[in-house]
Amino acid sequence: MFFNQVEFGQRVKALRKENGYTLQQMADELNVSYEHYKKIENGNHGCSISLLLDISAFFDVSTDYLLTGRSFETLHIQKQLLAAQDILAGLMKDLK
């Protein structure tokens, strides 16, 4: 799996906008400088694990979602769909 810093920043930015915060408000909430937070959103700068956890907690999303764009729910649904697909394929085979 590959970590894409730009996509990480885009997810953080989208969450900020969805929740109606400005860049400055988020920087203040997370106790980081405006410039540092802006660079994170733009994909020009990474963040510490501590800050990752703070962002995750602030927006109530998983770190997995922030880092990869995938959530536990998405993975769970994908597994359920694959299982259902296998069941349907078995049923189709039995009908032939």
Annotated domain spans of the chain? 5-70
User: What is the pTM assigned to this prediction?
Assistant: 0.73
Mean pLDDT, range 80-85, rounded to an integer: 82
Digit-coded pLDDT (tens) for 1-26: 689 999 999 999 999 999 999 999 99
Residue 76 pLDDT greater than 80, yes or no = no
Residue 59 pLDDT grade (very low, low, confident, very high; cuts 50, 70, 90): very high
Q: How large is the average pLDDT for residues 58-85? A: 81
- For residues 72 and 8, what is the distance between their CA atoms, to the nearest angstrom? 17
- Return all residues near 43 (Cβ < 8 A) that are at least 6 apart: 5, 6, 7, 8, 9, 10
pLDDT at 16: 97
CATH value of 5-70 in 3.40.50.300, 2.40.170.20, 3.30.70.660, 1.10.260.40: 1.10.260.40
Distances (CA, A) of 68 to 3, 5, 18, 20, 74: 7, 10, 19, 23, 11
**Token pair for 63:** 């770190």
Mean per-residue pLDDT of the chain = 90
